[in-house]
Structure 1
Amino acid sequence: MAIDIEQPRVLTADNYYDDFTYMSTSRFKEFIKCPRRQLAIELGMWEDKKSNDAFIVGNYVHSYFESPEAHRRFLEGHRSDLYATKGKTKGQLKAAFKVADKMIRTLEVEELFNRVYHGSSGDEVEKERIFTGELYGIPFKCKVDSINFTGGYFVDLKTMDTLAGEKFSPTIRRYTKGVLYNVLEYQYDLQMYIYQQLIAQEVGYEMTPYIMAVSKESIPDKELIMVTDSILDHGRQILEANAEMIRSIWECEMEAEGCGHCDFCLAHKTLEGYVTLDELF
């Protein structure tokens, strides 16, 4: 299997999520996990059955802080996702979005959040600004939650299950705080590096990335995190280690290999012999 690259087009708010001529960080991450699965999805040969609830909740919060108009458009376009359609709660806002409202209330009263995310008086700030560019021969795109051209920084708003609670990270093979778990396991280091580089290609210098993290707990936790050079360098290493493989798949120079354990690979697995328990250690 292989996929042809179309000529990249001009991106707008209306066509951004439908566009496949540019690579997004989310798709790049999926190619890293299993190139063959992601390629099959993009060719229409496999359905991604993962829930998009977290994505919708995230956009619910993002649109609120973008503008009243953006939030209103989001509510009108996702009514079927937001409200229960049966049972005792029919017509009521679903539980996940009640939590999202709590996250919104938590952030909007924070002076530091408002100053950083919306900027101080006189700052040139844009919300949901689209940037495109090329990294390692791959056309990339990104949409930045908030970028402050006056302050020289950008902010990515992240909703997380927990910030302080500990979770086991396979990357570092130990339990760590929820914030670090999310950065490592969801590869926010890669995302922030790509965003920084795409922005730099347009503005001419590297801006400082911040993650505004807020938790989905009953009483939401929040933390403003500056993404340091060491974290960005780790993201750069991930990009460098995988870019050539993914570019080659896009340009039809090589076949995509499977990871061997995702849903796509298991559905297409055939037995070719036996293994010993010793081999599984």
Structure 2
Amino acid sequence: MLKLTDENYHSKKANSEYMSVSTFKSFLPWYSYGCEAKAVAKINGEWEEEPSSAMLMGSYIHAWAEGKLDSFMANTPELFKQNGGLYAKYKHADKMIETIKDDDYMMKVLQGGKEEIITGELFGVPWKAKVDVLNDEFQTFTDLKTTREIGRDYYNEHAQEYQNFINYWGYDIQMAVYAELIKQQRELDSYYMPHIAVVDKQDPPDKAVIYFGTDWIQDKLEELEIVAERVVDVWAGKKEPHRCGKCDYCRSTKKITESIYWKDF
């Protein structure tokens, strides 16, 4: 089994040996980006996605929170002008950071060990995670999030309902899995308290610290176990992946095998 480090954490080998929350969700059709065929292609190195502007902005803010802005600037020069300032379309990220820095409570929640790699076993396979902030003294962990608008509801086409940003992006799954992995690795009898510290992209930005409690975690893990068998089998190559037919990967690799009757279109 591969020993995980910062350097190999996102490698093809790591993603083929360890399940992660992002990989697990990428197989599930009830998330806008979920497609089994695309997920397998990404794991196998057959499909790559360029990071979006939103992802790059989030990575910039995370690098600040970790105290690693210098290395981020060196590795992501496309975000920065020659004088070291951000290009205009990313400049709002600095205002989002200032929003966090100006709030004593939010800064307190972000105190602790940064980006600790944790591993464990769930649903019969090894899992990996990187925890943004892990505070053993207070038995808490915190994930730093950015979102378009904290109070906005997002329409989930699969569920046919509006959801808050936590449910829409599956952050409840992340909190439950991280809590379980920390419990296993720390050999605890109880869960650390999950938190999300979130800042949004409005001008001026809004912010919040959200705590989850722990009494729901076991129920969420049992809920995930229902779908985990197929996800794990497809991830491990034991079953063929289904194509969603709608995502960029499916459109790019689509082959027509028959005509469609116009009334069925």
Normalising by the smaller structure, the TM-score range is: 0.7 to 0.9
Distance 1:91 1:252, change over 3 A: closer
Partner of 2:149: 162
In structure 2, stretches of 5+ residues that fail to align are: 29-33
Deviation at 1:155, TM superposition (A): 0.4
1:87-236 → structure 2 map (5 Å cutoff): 93-118=86-111, 125-170=112-157, 173-175=160-162, 180=164, 182-203=165-186, 204=188, 205-229=190-214, 232=217, 235-236=220-221
In structure 1, stretches of 5+ residues that fail to align are: 1-7, 119-124
Deviation at 1:108, TM superposition (A): 0.7
**Given residue 70 of structure 2, which amino acid in structure 1 is its aligned partner?**
R
Deviation at 1:53, TM superposition (A): 2.6
C-alpha contact (below 8 Å) 2:191/2:214 kept by paired residues: no
**Given residue 168 of structure 1, which amino acid in structure 2 is its aligned partner?**
Y
For 1:96 and 1:83, locate their aligned partners in 2 and report how far apart those are by CA, in whole Å: 11
Deviation at 1:38, TM superposition (A): 1.3
Which secondary structure state, in structure 2, belongs to the residue aligned with residue 93 of structure 1? coil
Distance 1:98 1:233, change over 3 A: farther
Q: Name the TM-score, length of structure 1 as normaliser.
A: 0.80
Partner of 1:75: 73
Deviation at 1:237, TM superposition (A): 5.0
**Given residue 28 of structure 1, which amino acid in structure 2 is its aligned partner?**
F
Greater mean alpha carbon deviation, residues 263-272 or residues 196-205: 263-272
For 2:46 and 2:158, locate their aligned partners in 1 and report how far apart those are by CA, in whole Å: 30
Q: What's the % identity of the aligned pairs?
A: 33
Partner of 1:13: 6
Task: Number of aligned residue pairs: give it.
Answer: 254
Pairing 1:268–2:244 present: no
For 2:172 and 2:261, locate their aligned partners in 1 and report how far apart those are by CA, in whole Å: 37
Greater mean alpha carbon deviation, residues 155-164 or residues 38-47: 38-47
C-alpha contact (below 8 Å) 2:193/2:214 kept by paired residues: no
Partner of 2:27: 31
For 2:174 and 2:92, locate their aligned partners in 1 and report how far apart those are by CA, in whole Å: 25
C-alpha contact (below 8 Å) 2:73/2:80 kept by paired residues: no
Which secondary structure state, in structure 2, belongs to the residue aligned with residue 158 of structure 1? strand
Deviation at 1:271, TM superposition (A): 4.4
Which secondary structure state, in structure 2, belongs to the residue aligned with residue 197 of structure 1? helix
C-alpha contact (below 8 Å) 1:214/1:220 kept by paired residues: yes
Distance 1:171 1:189, change over 3 A: farther
